[in-house]
Amino acid sequence: MPRSATNMLDLSELPAPLRREARDFVQFLLARRSVSKKATRSRTLPAAFQTPIHVNEYLKVSRDEIYDEI
């Protein structure tokens, strides 16, 4: 993330423990963001799942016909 005046917060007004807590919280949010991006990438299906399966013939079977064989 590039550093610029718009991305910077002035925490010098806060006492040291609160500055540390704010810094830890921001690091937590950044780590959580990177983990959620990785998780969404890994949950995507391969491209083969996006292409339809072509069949020459389709046989429609009713539910009763399925259970007749059992």
Q: What CA–CA distance (Å, rounded) separates 36 from 31? A: 9
Asked if residue 60 is part of any domain, the answer here is no
In the predicted model, what is the mean pLDDT of the chain?
A: 80
Asked if residue 58 is part of any domain, the answer here is no
Asked if residue 68 is part of any domain, the answer here is no
Asked if residue 42 is part of any domain, the answer here is yes
Phi, psi of 67, deg, nearest 5: -80, -10
Asked if residue 32 is part of any domain, the answer here is yes
pTM of the model: 0.42
Asked if residue 6 is part of any domain, the answer here is no
Residues 12, 22 contacting (CB under 8 angstroms) = no
pLDDT for the residue numbered 15: 93
pLDDT for the residue numbered 19: 93
Q: Considering its fold, how many domains does the chain have in total?
A: 1
SS3 24: helix
The string of pLDDT tens digits covering residues 58-69 is: 888 888 888 886
* Mean pLDDT, rounded, for 46-62: 85
DSSP structural state of residue 48? G
CA 29 to each of CA 21, 34, 45, 52, 56: distance values in angstroms, whole numbers, following the listed order? 12, 9, 27, 39, 52
Asked if residue 1 is part of any domain, the answer here is no
What amino acid is encoded at 46 in this protein? P
Domain range for 22 = 12-50
